[in-house]
Amino acid sequence: MAIIAQRDQETIRNSFEEQMVGDVEIVMFTERPSPIILPFRGQCETCEDTERLLSEVAELSDKIKLTVHQLSTSGEEAASYGIDRVPAFVLKGAARGQVRFFGIPSGYEFSAFLADLIDTSRGSTDLSQATKEYLGTLTEDVNLKVFTTPT
């Protein structure tokens, strides 16, 4: 059974067709369930659902490619993206920056995730000109973190 309802898939597909410009790669880091219980490492409760959701989204546009890595075997690559826990993924597109998500983008996070996919494909955002000008005056890199909760 699909995570995204058929009607919603059509809406998202149409939105991608109308708004996406360039290709986007979703680089996901996950961990597979282990048959061995290790006391220092718990099971990832949302990794499978996150991968399934991202896979469904990637199937809605030929401009989206999903690449999945195991954190335990891709440590250097994960570190290059600032990934240290799972599930996590990075959106890569035309822009210099990158968008990282930790956890499953469900509930309120799902619409933000879809908007970020579109922005990443464009290599730009809908920020006001005044905001863009202000950001252009910054002389150092900025690490912006946005936390979203469904409450």
- Architecture of the CATH domain 6-136: 3-Layer(aba) Sandwich (3.40)
- What does the pLDDT read at residue 39? 65
- What does the pLDDT read at residue 95? 72
Mean pLDDT, contiguous 10-residue spans, the chain (151 residues): 93 97 95 71 85 97 97 91 94 82 90 93 87 89 73 53
Contacts with 34 (C-beta within 8 Å, 6 or more apart), sequence order? 41, 43
- What does the pLDDT read at residue 8? 96
- What does the pLDDT read at residue 142? 81
- What does the pLDDT read at residue 41? 63
- What does the pLDDT read at residue 42? 65
Q: What are phi and psi of 74, to 5 degrees?
A: -130, 40
Query: Which residue type occupies 106?
Result: S
- What does the pLDDT read at residue 151? 53
Q: Where in the chain are the domains?
A: 6-136
- Would you put residue 82 in left (φ > 0), alpha (ψ -120 to 50) or beta? left
pTM above 0.75, yes or no: yes
